[in-house]
Amino acid sequence: MKILVIGGGGREHAIVWALSKCRRVDKLYCSPGNAGIAELASCLDIKADDIKALVDFAKYEWIDYTIVGPEVPLVAGIVDEFNRDGLKIIGPGQQAARLEGSKVFAKDFMKRYGIPSAKYKVFTSYIHAEEYVRIVGTPVVIKADGLAAGKGVIVAWSVDDAIEALKLIMKEKAFGHAGDRVVVEEYIEGQEASFMVFTDGEHVVPMVSAQDYKRALDGDRGPNTGGMGAYTPASVISSSMYQVVMDKVITPVIHALRKEGILYKGILYAGLMIKDYIPYVLEFNCRLGDPEAQAVLMRLETDLLDIMIAIHNQTLDKLDVRWRPGASMTLVVASEGYPGSFKKGLPISGLEKLKASSDLYVFHSGTDYDSNNVVTTSGRVLSVTAAGPTLNAACQMVYDNVKNIHFDGMFYRRDIGASPTNLSASCASL
């Protein structure tokens, strides 16, 4: 079979890596891909949000299945466009993807169906939003309604912080039209977990739980990022909590969407904050998290393509999805200055010293080739990932091997997997 993966980050490298092991895959394409993905697939010079070009390519090359990695094309309706042309694609349609594309839609949806989430107010007026935060006080969480590349959620510890956040989003339009509406949300403190599932719209197969680290620096200090590392399984998701999440969040969401005439097929991600044994939903994503995908897919034993086909055919209940026992961990290696401004085009050395195996792999998040040298192209550059019988074993393998990698200004956290993180509502995965 010919498979097309859309996207070019660490998540997509993990997807391509998992598909490369599937027995029915004959040819892999990735658009646009990166230097690491290029070792496993043919990379295309097509942007992930160029839906027309992707449709044309899938038709011309007779692609059997397309798998969408990032949120932007999903929210833009790529699944609907592919379906209109009779092309097989895995992911939720545009209506379903509103769960991620609009925080207002997601909050209203959860309120409507009694899914645990923080109390909130929605504003289109800066003046009214400012008046509200002055009345309710802080801490509060300020969220831009639309997609904001992982930067549209701000925790405000003081009224001045909240007003600055509102100005940034609503007046200065730092995130464009994503900030036309804002959600001012109650702050919830607890333990964060990422709970992802495969679903064909009726049946649900949970993945192993994960916990990610959003802050840039050790000890959960510094600014929020797209994620500096993750591990599985999440310590806060016990077997009993697992069932609570399924009963209180995942199953109600799938059923409620069907009640509203929306068939959700693909991957559903619930970013949770566990407090007093209640799983509060911080946000929904309509795709795999990054860097959670790297850690989770490292433990997947069932062919990923078989899962995707079952999702498409709505036969997920007939597939036995198996996971490697033990634990896994992924560590993001980032560029100096991230999540702010950073240099690009820096040569990366030492990658050849890390021998890929079933226990260790380096997923590329932001790389390209320059005169046959691998160079940096983004803030998050690499994800060094390992699996082992215990979390300590996986962590040891990652930290022993990351020492071989070098590029100017690189940094990474040294406490991923060391202890459960206590993260605030600002740390929702994006």
Please check whether residues 171 and 204 belong to one and the same domain. no
Domain boundary among 113, 148, 180: 180
Tell me which of 120 and 430 has the higher pLDDT.
Answer: 120
Please check whether residues 170 and 227 belong to one and the same domain. no
**In the chain, % of residues over pLDDT 90:** 90
pTM above 0.85, yes or no: yes
pLDDT score for 423 = 37
Decide if pLDDT at 430 tops 60.
Answer: no
- pLDDT 10s digits, 12-37: 999 999 999 999 999 999 999 999 99
Task: Determine, yes or no, domain membership for 61.
Answer: yes
Question: What is the number of domains present in the chain?
Answer: 3
Domain ranges, residue 296 = 190-427
Please check whether residues 133 and 255 belong to one and the same domain. no
pLDDT score for 427 = 33
Decide if pLDDT at 144 tops 80.
Answer: yes
Query: 234: closest CA among 430, 388, 422, 420?
Result: 420
Please check whether residues 167 and 264 belong to one and the same domain. no
Decide if pLDDT at 220 tops 80.
Answer: yes
Rounded to 5°, angle at Cα 399 from 394 and 401: 100
pLDDT score for 422 = 39
Average pLDDT over every residue of 182-210: 96
Average pLDDT over every residue of 406-425: 76
Please check whether residues 309 and 383 belong to one and the same domain. yes
Round the average pLDDT of the chain to a whole number and report it: 94
Please check whether residues 217 and 279 belong to one and the same domain. yes
- pLDDT 10s digits, 163-182: 999 999 999 999 999 999 99
pLDDT score for 420 = 47
For residues 11 and 213, give the distance between their C-alpha atoms in angstroms, rounded to a whole number: 16
Kindly tell me the sign of the dihedral angle through the C-alpha atoms of 19, 393, 189, 176: negative
Tell me which of 420 and 131 has the higher pLDDT.
Answer: 131
Give me 354's structure tokens.
């890390």
pLDDT score for 428 = 36
Decide if pLDDT at 108 tops 80.
Answer: yes
Task: Determine, yes or no, domain membership for 393.
Answer: yes
Task: Determine, yes or no, domain membership for 347.
Answer: yes
Looking at residue 134, which CATH number applies to its domain? 3.30.1490.20
Please check whether residues 45 and 160 belong to one and the same domain. no
Looking at residue 22, which CATH number applies to its domain? 3.40.50.20
SS (H, E, C) the chain: CEEEEEECCHHHHHHHHHHHCCCCCCEEEEEECCCCHHHCCEECCCCCCCHHHHHHHHHHCCCCEEEECCHHHHHCCHHHHHHHCCCCEECCCCCCCHHHHCHHHHHHHHHHHCCCECCEEEECCHHHHHHHHHHHCCCEEEEECCCCCCCCEEEECCHHHHHHHHHHHHHCCCCHHHHCCEEEEECCCEEEEEEEEEECCCCEEECCCEEECCEEEHHHEEEECCCCEEEECCCCCCHHHHHHHHHHHHHHHHHHHHHCCCCCCEEEEEEEEEECCEEEEEEEECCCCCCHHHHHHCCECCCHHHHHHHHHHCCHHHCCCCECCCEEEEEEEECCCCCCCCCCCCECECHHHCCCCCCEEEEECCEEEECCEEEECCCEEEEEEEEECCHHHHHHHHHHHHCCCECCCCECCCCCCCCCCEECHHHCCC
When pLDDT is cut at 50, 70 and 90, the band that residue 419 belongs to is low
Please check whether residues 376 and 232 belong to one and the same domain. yes
For residues 17 and 47, give the distance between their C-alpha atoms in angstroms, rounded to a whole number: 20
- pLDDT 10s digits, 62-85: 999 999 999 999 999 999 999 999
Domain boundary among 70, 93, 116: 93
Q: Across the beta sheet with 327-334, what order do the strands follow?
A: 211-212, 229-232, 327-334, 380-388, 360-364
- Residues 6 or more apart whose CB falls under 8 angstroms from that of 196 comprise 206, 207, 210, 267, 268, 269, 270, 288, 289, 292, 296
Please check whether residues 22 and 81 belong to one and the same domain. yes
Range 83-87 contact pairs with CB under 8 angstroms and sequence separation of 24 or more: 85/55, 85/58, 85/59, 87/55, 87/58, 87/59, 87/63
For residues 42 and 27, give the distance between their C-alpha atoms in angstroms, rounded to a whole number: 8
Task: Determine, yes or no, domain membership for 212.
Answer: yes
Place of tokens 């899938």: 58
pLDDT score for 425 = 33
Please check whether residues 242 and 274 belong to one and the same domain. yes
Task: Determine, yes or no, domain membership for 106.
Answer: no
Q: Which amino acid is at 223?
A: P
pLDDT score for 142 = 96
Please check whether residues 175 and 214 belong to one and the same domain. no
Task: Determine, yes or no, domain membership for 109.
Answer: no
Decide if pLDDT at 324 tops 60.
Answer: yes
Domain boundary among 180, 212, 246: 180
- pLDDT 10s digits, 34-68: 999 999 999 999 999 999 999 999 999 999 999 99
Looking at residue 350, which CATH number applies to its domain? 3.30.470.20
Please check whether residues 326 and 367 belong to one and the same domain. yes
Task: Determine, yes or no, domain membership for 102.
Answer: no
Task: Determine, yes or no, domain membership for 118.
Answer: no
CA distances for 407 relative to 147, 298, 370, 377, angstroms: 31, 25, 14, 12
Place of tokens 């080739």: 369
For residues 66 and 143, give the distance between their C-alpha atoms in angstroms, rounded to a whole number: 31
